[in-house]
Amino acid sequence: MTAPLAERLAGIMGCAVTRIAPLGGGCIADVRRAMMADGRDVVVKRGAGAESALAIEGRMLSYLAEHTALPVPTVHFAADDLLVMDYIPSGDPITPAAEADAAMHLAALHGIGNGTFGFSWPTVIGGLQQPNDPNPSWRDFFRDRRLLYMGRAAVDAGRLPAPTFRRLEKLCANLSRWIGDTSTPSLIHGDLWTGNILIRHDKLVGVVDPALYFADAEIELAFSTLFGTFGDSFFARYAELRPIAAGFFEERRDLYNLYPLLVHVRLFGGTYVNAVERTLNKFGF
Protein backbone atom coordinates (compact mmCIF):
# COMPACT_ATOMS: atom_id res chain seq x y z
CA MET A 1 0.00 0.00 0.00
CA THR A 2 1.51 3.30 -1.09
CA ALA A 3 1.37 5.89 1.67
CA PRO A 4 0.58 8.94 -0.54
CA LEU A 5 -2.39 7.16 -2.16
CA ALA A 6 -3.68 5.90 1.19
CA GLU A 7 -3.44 9.38 2.66
CA ARG A 8 -5.26 10.92 -0.29
CA LEU A 9 -8.00 8.29 -0.15
CA ALA A 10 -8.42 8.80 3.59
CA GLY A 11 -8.98 12.49 2.97
CA ILE A 12 -11.52 11.84 0.21
CA MET A 13 -13.46 9.14 2.04
CA GLY A 14 -13.11 10.51 5.57
CA CYS A 15 -11.86 7.16 6.77
CA ALA A 16 -8.57 5.28 7.07
CA VAL A 17 -7.51 2.78 4.39
CA THR A 18 -6.79 -0.75 5.61
CA ARG A 19 -5.66 -2.37 2.36
CA ILE A 20 -5.12 -1.62 -1.33
CA ALA A 21 -4.94 -4.46 -3.84
CA PRO A 22 -4.60 -4.63 -7.64
CA LEU A 23 -7.83 -4.99 -9.61
CA GLY A 24 -8.10 -6.19 -13.20
CA GLY A 25 -9.34 -3.94 -15.98
CA GLY A 26 -8.49 -0.59 -17.45
CA CYS A 27 -6.17 0.07 -20.38
CA ILE A 28 -5.49 3.73 -19.62
CA ALA A 29 -5.15 3.73 -15.85
CA ASP A 30 -3.86 1.75 -12.90
CA VAL A 31 -6.92 0.16 -11.23
CA ARG A 32 -7.00 -0.90 -7.58
CA ARG A 33 -9.49 -1.92 -4.92
CA ALA A 34 -9.21 -0.13 -1.60
CA MET A 35 -10.72 -1.46 1.62
CA MET A 36 -11.71 1.24 4.07
CA ALA A 37 -11.72 0.94 7.86
CA ASP A 38 -15.49 1.51 8.00
CA GLY A 39 -16.14 -1.55 5.79
CA ARG A 40 -16.62 0.22 2.48
CA ASP A 41 -14.73 -0.93 -0.62
CA VAL A 42 -13.91 1.48 -3.41
CA VAL A 43 -12.31 1.24 -6.83
CA VAL A 44 -9.40 3.59 -7.39
CA LYS A 45 -8.20 4.47 -10.88
CA ARG A 46 -4.99 6.43 -11.30
CA GLY A 47 -3.91 7.95 -14.58
CA ALA A 48 -1.31 10.24 -16.06
CA GLY A 49 -3.10 13.54 -15.63
CA ALA A 50 -5.40 14.97 -18.29
CA GLU A 51 -4.39 12.32 -20.85
CA SER A 52 -6.22 9.66 -18.84
CA ALA A 53 -9.52 11.62 -18.93
CA LEU A 54 -10.59 10.25 -15.55
CA ALA A 55 -12.44 13.46 -14.70
CA ILE A 56 -14.58 13.00 -17.81
CA GLU A 57 -15.16 9.33 -16.96
CA GLY A 58 -16.39 10.31 -13.51
CA ARG A 59 -18.61 13.01 -14.99
CA MET A 60 -20.18 10.47 -17.36
CA LEU A 61 -20.88 8.01 -14.55
CA SER A 62 -22.47 10.77 -12.50
CA TYR A 63 -24.60 11.76 -15.49
CA LEU A 64 -25.87 8.20 -15.83
CA ALA A 65 -26.62 8.04 -12.10
CA GLU A 66 -28.58 11.29 -12.24
CA HIS A 67 -30.46 10.88 -15.51
CA THR A 68 -31.00 7.13 -15.96
CA ALA A 69 -31.84 3.94 -14.10
CA LEU A 70 -28.76 2.14 -15.43
CA PRO A 71 -26.80 0.65 -12.51
CA VAL A 72 -23.48 2.46 -12.13
CA PRO A 73 -21.04 2.89 -9.25
CA THR A 74 -21.35 6.00 -7.13
CA VAL A 75 -18.49 8.42 -7.83
CA HIS A 76 -16.82 9.84 -4.72
CA PHE A 77 -14.07 11.82 -6.41
CA ALA A 78 -13.06 12.56 -10.00
CA ALA A 79 -9.99 14.44 -11.19
CA ASP A 80 -7.69 14.10 -14.17
CA ASP A 81 -5.31 11.88 -12.25
CA LEU A 82 -7.65 10.04 -9.86
CA LEU A 83 -11.14 8.50 -9.90
CA VAL A 84 -12.69 6.96 -6.78
CA MET A 85 -15.99 5.09 -7.00
CA ASP A 86 -17.87 2.34 -5.20
CA TYR A 87 -16.76 -1.22 -5.71
CA ILE A 88 -19.62 -3.37 -7.07
CA PRO A 89 -19.33 -7.10 -6.24
CA SER A 90 -19.61 -8.98 -9.53
CA GLY A 91 -17.65 -11.37 -11.73
CA ASP A 92 -20.33 -13.89 -12.65
CA PRO A 93 -20.60 -14.99 -16.29
CA ILE A 94 -22.99 -13.38 -18.76
CA THR A 95 -25.60 -16.15 -18.87
CA PRO A 96 -28.71 -16.11 -21.08
CA ALA A 97 -30.69 -14.89 -18.07
CA ALA A 98 -28.17 -12.11 -17.50
CA GLU A 99 -28.39 -11.15 -21.17
CA ALA A 100 -32.16 -10.84 -20.91
CA ASP A 101 -31.82 -8.68 -17.81
CA ALA A 102 -29.23 -6.49 -19.52
CA ALA A 103 -31.56 -6.12 -22.50
CA MET A 104 -34.23 -4.56 -20.30
CA HIS A 105 -31.74 -2.08 -18.86
CA LEU A 106 -30.35 -1.14 -22.28
CA ALA A 107 -33.77 -0.82 -23.87
CA ALA A 108 -34.73 1.60 -21.10
CA LEU A 109 -31.51 3.57 -21.59
CA HIS A 110 -32.12 3.79 -25.32
CA GLY A 111 -35.60 5.08 -24.63
CA ILE A 112 -34.05 8.28 -23.27
CA GLY A 113 -34.07 10.71 -26.17
CA ASN A 114 -32.78 14.10 -27.12
CA GLY A 115 -33.47 16.58 -29.88
CA THR A 116 -30.18 15.99 -31.67
CA PHE A 117 -27.26 13.60 -32.02
CA GLY A 118 -24.10 14.16 -30.01
CA PHE A 119 -23.82 15.43 -26.46
CA SER A 120 -23.57 18.68 -24.55
CA TRP A 121 -19.84 18.17 -23.92
CA PRO A 122 -17.02 16.05 -25.39
CA THR A 123 -16.77 12.54 -23.96
CA VAL A 124 -14.11 9.85 -24.26
CA ILE A 125 -13.79 6.23 -25.31
CA GLY A 126 -10.73 4.32 -24.13
CA GLY A 127 -9.24 7.65 -23.11
CA LEU A 128 -9.64 9.04 -26.64
CA GLN A 129 -11.61 12.20 -27.23
CA GLN A 130 -15.09 11.87 -28.74
CA PRO A 131 -16.25 15.16 -30.31
CA ASN A 132 -19.98 15.51 -29.81
CA ASP A 133 -20.92 18.72 -31.60
CA PRO A 134 -24.70 18.40 -32.02
CA ASN A 135 -26.05 17.44 -35.42
CA PRO A 136 -29.69 16.76 -36.40
CA SER A 137 -28.56 14.16 -38.96
CA TRP A 138 -27.39 10.82 -37.59
CA ARG A 139 -25.77 9.90 -40.88
CA ASP A 140 -23.73 13.10 -40.95
CA PHE A 141 -22.81 12.81 -37.26
CA PHE A 142 -21.68 9.19 -37.67
CA ARG A 143 -19.68 10.09 -40.78
CA ASP A 144 -17.97 13.25 -39.51
CA ARG A 145 -17.71 12.83 -35.73
CA ARG A 146 -17.08 9.11 -35.58
CA LEU A 147 -15.69 7.41 -38.71
CA LEU A 148 -13.73 10.26 -40.32
CA TYR A 149 -12.63 11.79 -37.02
CA MET A 150 -11.27 8.54 -35.59
CA GLY A 151 -9.86 7.46 -38.93
CA ARG A 152 -7.85 10.69 -39.19
CA ALA A 153 -6.69 10.30 -35.59
CA ALA A 154 -5.48 6.77 -36.39
CA VAL A 155 -3.62 8.01 -39.49
CA ASP A 156 -2.02 10.85 -37.55
CA ALA A 157 -0.87 8.36 -34.90
CA GLY A 158 0.76 6.20 -37.58
CA ARG A 159 -1.61 3.31 -36.92
CA LEU A 160 -3.86 3.41 -40.02
CA PRO A 161 -2.32 3.41 -43.52
CA ALA A 162 -3.27 6.42 -45.64
CA PRO A 163 -4.61 4.22 -48.49
CA THR A 164 -6.98 2.54 -46.04
CA PHE A 165 -8.20 5.93 -44.86
CA ARG A 166 -8.91 6.93 -48.46
CA ARG A 167 -11.04 3.81 -48.79
CA LEU A 168 -12.85 4.82 -45.62
CA GLU A 169 -13.52 8.26 -47.10
CA LYS A 170 -15.11 6.64 -50.16
CA LEU A 171 -17.36 4.54 -47.92
CA CYS A 172 -18.34 7.65 -45.97
CA ALA A 173 -19.31 9.41 -49.19
CA ASN A 174 -21.77 6.59 -49.85
CA LEU A 175 -23.32 6.05 -46.41
CA SER A 176 -26.78 6.92 -47.70
CA ARG A 177 -26.88 3.48 -49.36
CA TRP A 178 -27.25 1.90 -45.92
CA ILE A 179 -28.16 4.62 -43.43
CA GLY A 180 -31.23 6.78 -43.85
CA ASP A 181 -31.87 10.10 -42.19
CA THR A 182 -34.86 9.29 -40.00
CA SER A 183 -33.05 7.95 -36.92
CA THR A 184 -34.15 9.04 -33.44
CA PRO A 185 -31.46 10.07 -30.93
CA SER A 186 -31.06 7.61 -28.05
CA LEU A 187 -28.72 7.84 -25.09
CA ILE A 188 -26.11 5.07 -25.33
CA HIS A 189 -23.44 3.76 -22.97
CA GLY A 190 -21.07 3.68 -25.91
CA ASP A 191 -18.53 1.02 -24.89
CA LEU A 192 -20.38 -2.21 -24.25
CA TRP A 193 -17.62 -4.79 -24.31
CA THR A 194 -17.62 -7.64 -21.80
CA GLY A 195 -15.15 -6.03 -19.38
CA ASN A 196 -17.51 -3.11 -18.79
CA ILE A 197 -20.48 -5.31 -17.90
CA LEU A 198 -20.80 -6.35 -14.23
CA ILE A 199 -22.93 -9.42 -13.58
CA ARG A 200 -23.99 -11.10 -10.33
CA HIS A 201 -26.58 -13.85 -9.88
CA ASP A 202 -27.83 -13.51 -13.48
CA LYS A 203 -28.44 -9.78 -13.10
CA LEU A 204 -26.75 -6.72 -14.52
CA VAL A 205 -25.50 -5.01 -11.37
CA GLY A 206 -23.30 -2.37 -12.94
CA VAL A 207 -21.75 -0.88 -16.05
CA VAL A 208 -18.49 1.07 -16.06
CA ASP A 209 -16.28 3.04 -18.46
CA PRO A 210 -19.08 4.78 -20.39
CA ALA A 211 -18.54 6.69 -23.64
CA LEU A 212 -21.79 8.63 -23.65
CA TYR A 213 -23.58 10.39 -26.46
CA PHE A 214 -26.96 10.43 -28.19
CA ALA A 215 -26.89 8.13 -31.22
CA ASP A 216 -28.92 5.72 -33.27
CA ALA A 217 -29.21 2.89 -30.72
CA GLU A 218 -28.15 0.41 -33.40
CA ILE A 219 -24.52 1.43 -32.96
CA GLU A 220 -24.71 0.24 -29.34
CA LEU A 221 -26.33 -3.04 -30.36
CA ALA A 222 -23.62 -3.54 -32.96
CA PHE A 223 -20.78 -2.92 -30.51
CA SER A 224 -22.28 -5.46 -28.10
CA THR A 225 -21.62 -8.17 -30.71
CA LEU A 226 -18.10 -7.13 -31.75
CA PHE A 227 -16.33 -8.98 -28.95
CA GLY A 228 -19.13 -11.41 -28.12
CA THR A 229 -20.61 -9.51 -25.17
CA PHE A 230 -24.24 -10.37 -25.93
CA GLY A 231 -25.95 -12.97 -28.10
CA ASP A 232 -29.33 -14.39 -28.99
CA SER A 233 -30.91 -14.13 -25.53
CA PHE A 234 -30.10 -10.43 -25.34
CA PHE A 235 -31.45 -9.64 -28.79
CA ALA A 236 -34.60 -11.70 -28.35
CA ARG A 237 -35.56 -9.77 -25.21
CA TYR A 238 -34.42 -6.40 -26.55
CA ALA A 239 -36.50 -6.83 -29.72
CA GLU A 240 -39.59 -7.43 -27.59
CA LEU A 241 -39.07 -4.00 -26.05
CA ARG A 242 -37.60 -2.05 -28.96
CA PRO A 243 -38.01 -3.58 -32.43
CA ILE A 244 -34.83 -3.90 -34.49
CA ALA A 245 -35.23 -2.77 -38.09
CA ALA A 246 -34.57 -5.14 -40.97
CA GLY A 247 -31.05 -5.12 -42.33
CA PHE A 248 -29.29 -4.52 -39.02
CA PHE A 249 -27.67 -7.94 -38.66
CA GLU A 250 -26.99 -8.32 -42.39
CA GLU A 251 -25.40 -4.92 -43.10
CA ARG A 252 -25.58 -2.08 -40.61
CA ARG A 253 -24.04 -4.03 -37.73
CA ASP A 254 -20.71 -4.33 -39.57
CA LEU A 255 -20.93 -0.75 -40.77
CA TYR A 256 -21.43 0.59 -37.23
CA ASN A 257 -18.67 -1.62 -35.84
CA LEU A 258 -16.20 0.24 -38.02
CA TYR A 259 -16.15 2.92 -35.33
CA PRO A 260 -15.00 0.75 -32.38
CA LEU A 261 -12.60 -0.99 -34.77
CA LEU A 262 -11.09 2.40 -35.65
CA VAL A 263 -10.84 3.18 -31.95
CA HIS A 264 -8.86 -0.03 -31.49
CA VAL A 265 -6.70 0.80 -34.49
CA ARG A 266 -5.92 4.19 -32.95
CA LEU A 267 -5.07 2.57 -29.61
CA PHE A 268 -3.35 -0.64 -30.70
CA GLY A 269 -2.93 -0.85 -34.49
CA GLY A 270 -1.95 -4.35 -35.59
CA THR A 271 -4.64 -6.83 -36.57
CA TYR A 272 -7.41 -4.28 -36.06
CA VAL A 273 -6.30 -2.65 -39.33
CA ASN A 274 -7.04 -5.95 -41.08
CA ALA A 275 -10.51 -6.00 -39.50
CA VAL A 276 -11.21 -2.49 -40.83
CA GLU A 277 -10.05 -3.51 -44.30
CA ARG A 278 -12.26 -6.63 -44.28
CA THR A 279 -15.27 -4.44 -43.50
CA LEU A 280 -14.37 -2.04 -46.29
CA ASN A 281 -14.08 -5.04 -48.62
CA LYS A 282 -17.55 -6.21 -47.62
CA PHE A 283 -19.07 -2.88 -48.58
CA GLY A 284 -17.15 -2.70 -51.85
CA PHE A 285 -14.53 -0.05 -51.03
> Which of the residues are catalytic?
191
Please give the full DSSP string across 96-121, using - where no structure is assigned.
Answer: HHHHHHHHHHHHHHHT-B-SSBB-SS
Please tell me the distance from the alpha carbon of residue 241 to that of residue 243, in angstroms, as a whole number.
Answer: 6
Q: Is 163 exposed, middle or buried (0-12, 13-18, 19+ CB in 10 A)?
A: exposed
End-to-end Cα separation, the chain, in angstroms: 53
Give strand pairing partners of 36: 17
Q: Which long-range contacts (CB under 8 A, 24 or more apart) does 263-270 make?
A: 263/125, 263/126, 263/128, 263/150, 265/154, 265/159, 265/160, 266/128, 266/150, 266/153, 266/154, 266/157, 266/159, 266/160, 267/27, 267/126, 267/128, 268/159, 269/158, 269/159, 269/160
